[in-house]
Amino acid sequence: MATKRKTTRLRRGEILDVEEYHDGRYGAPGMPRQKKRKPTKEEMQRVNDLNRTRKCRMMLLQYYDPGDYFLTWTYRVTDRPEDMAAALKDFRKAIRWARDQYRKRGSELRWIRNIERGTKGAWHIHLIANRIPGAADILEEAWSHGGTYITEIKKSPYYDEDFSKLASYITKNETSREKKADGTPAKSRIREANYNHSRNMPLPKPSVDKLVRWKKEVKPKKGYYIAKIHEGINPVTGYKYRRYTMIRIHRRI
């Protein structure tokens, strides 16, 4: 059975995003190789959500720093859009103006955003943007439909070292469920959402290696430490998988 490691080198190797897994073409333990089956709608939704969040997290690691901005654009009740198409139009107008202001200052605006409509009818836009001198004023002036609430990423309640919390928060949608204090899923507060990001944030192509065996414990590469690790069971194959982020101890950038 093939065991593989997929490694994406971020920040020119200062950060390593690693995924280890058993080849999904094989069956569960003790079972013959399984025929391909069509995944259910719920399974596809889950896979798409996980992939979107993982890609977002890697963009955050590659292009953003803790001092960059996390902000929310809100709508006045009288300015609420009729539908998502109208909200997208409002966002595009605001982000074009902000992008032009960045360029006038010799910089490129990089953004990740999620437009959300709540179950009670309120609209807002969560936005992550790179910080330049005067960026806070630019981002506030760009939005004319309500309030602008801005903070540094590191000061937000969604900051952690490998940006997992922030990526999960900025990519949530109507199927996302937060957990209650007792561990049970709460009702979604989102009626609809639209996630997107600027196109000037390409990610490096990962390298894929075959492993001799599945190691019970992961050890960091020399000169690195493991910032976070997640292990789970693939429900289709029945085999373990793990994802972890390694960061160079003495980062150069």
- Domain annotation covers residue 210: no
Question: First-to-last CA distance in the chain?
Answer: 39
pLDDT number for residue 18: 96
pLDDT number for residue 29: 47
- Domain annotation covers residue 41: no
CA pair distance 169, 179, nearest whole angstrom: 13
- Percent of the chain residues past pLDDT 90, beyond the cut: 70
- Percent of the chain residues past pLDDT 70, beyond the cut: 88
- The whole-number average pLDDT for the span 5-13 is 96
Query: What does the block give as tokens for 75?
Result: 């709508």
- Domain annotation covers residue 236: no
Question: What is the domain-level CATH number for residue 82?
Answer: 3.30.70
Over 70: is that where the pLDDT of 72 sits? yes
Residue 181 — very low, low, confident or very high, per pLDDT cuts 50/70/90? Answer: low
Over 90: is that where the pLDDT of 189 sits? no
CA pair distance 181, 169, nearest whole angstrom: 18
Burial of 233 per CB tally in 10 Å (0-12, 13-18, 19+): exposed
Domains held by the chain: number: 1
| Domain that residue 113 falls in | 63-197
- Domain annotation covers residue 206: no
- Domain annotation covers residue 10: no
Determine the angle formed by the axes of helices 84-104 and 135-142, rounding to 10 degrees. 150
- Domain annotation covers residue 43: no
Residue 179 — very low, low, confident or very high, per pLDDT cuts 50/70/90? Answer: low
Q: Determine the residue type at 90.
A: D
pLDDT number for residue 14: 96
- Domain annotation covers residue 83: yes
Per-residue pLDDT of 48-63, as tens digits, reads 888 899 999 999 999 9
- Domain annotation covers residue 152: yes
Tell whether pTM > 0.85: yes
